[in-house]
A = this chain, B = another copy of it.
Amino acid sequence: MDKKIIGIDLGGTTVKFAILTAQGDVQQKWSIPTNILDDGTHIVPDIIASINHHMELYGLTKDDFLGIGMGTPGSVDRHLGTVIGAYNLNWKTTQAIKEAIESKTGIPFAIDNDANVAALGEQWKGAGENNPDVVFVTLGTGVGGGVIMNGQLLHGVAGAAGEIGHITVDPDGFECTCGKRGCLETVSSATGVVRVARHLSEEFAGDSELKKQLDNGESITSKDVFVAAEAGDLFANMVVDKVCYYLGLAIGNIGNTLNPSSIVLGGGVSAAGEFLRSRVEKNFLQFVFPQVGESTKIKLAELGNDAGVIGAASLAMKIEK
């Protein structure tokens, strides 16, 4: 029998698990709540107990597995298998995760950060169609991403490769939490879309339900903007056009630098689907070298929440023995 792999997607509220074949087909999925009490000291023991419990449940032993891969928030040392500074897990000090999991399961372990792992998932089994050159952009509360070229995740010299949310799209733009101005994240994250709406509402004089809501002091979401735009609200369309212009500029320049086979849009904002994708693509084509426009495709993510466990599991395929 072919050996299996385990993927773990560690988040601030739940830990998701999956057992996959080496071909990336999910055979079992489950999840447990993340217990962040006591400085997050329960998290790793809970993960180990859950893995061992499920192995027993399915009649599997360590010899049935090639490895375990995990995606995590915080700053990861891939070689040591440690994490530090994952504040939504209350991990303020260095956590020796690889050592704990390998010693208690007997299975080889690999770890990377959550954005990178989701990128690997989409590249392998999602919109990336297992092509070797794929860039993934998550449009969520923030904007993050992962870059896979020649079939390898790129980390850069200090692990900051893929900081796509901090590409400067407007040097005179909004201040960003990172300390600089005009980052893609300030205008295309879920909060960024609302920020653009508030900003543009000052100069929009026509009739718009969305603008009325803003003027009345109601709180709106990124989803409200896209729903209104699809329903024909002129102001909402102005906001979406601006957001897609900045996204097209940023990923256009990624295209000019890397010419991946696809740039995949994921995260909450990408729930706007083809309405978003087609508008981003239109702008992207304005900003790319012709050969890049012909060969690099703009796609929507396909795996949703499963990208994390699938991509994490793929790490297990590359553990050096």
A contact residues vs B (CB 8 Å cutoff): 131, 133, 147, 149-150, 152, 154-164, 166-168, 171, 178-180, 249-250, 252-254, 256-261, 286-292, 294-296
Contacts and interface: CB of A to CB of B under 8 A. Distances in A.
A157 B178 contact: no
A257 to B, nearest CB: 6
28 contacts: A131-B157, A133-B154, A133-B156, A147-B257, A149-B149, A149-B150, A149-B152, A149-B154, A150-B150, A156-B292, A157-B259, A157-B260, A157-B261, A158-B259, A159-B259, A160-B256, A160-B291, A160-B292, A163-B256, A163-B289, A164-B257, A166-B288, A168-B253, A171-B286, A179-B290, A180-B289, A253-B253, A257-B257
B287 A156 contact: no
A78 to B, nearest CB: 13
A129 to B, nearest CB: 11
Nearest to A162: B257
Nearest to A159: B259
Nearest to A262: B157
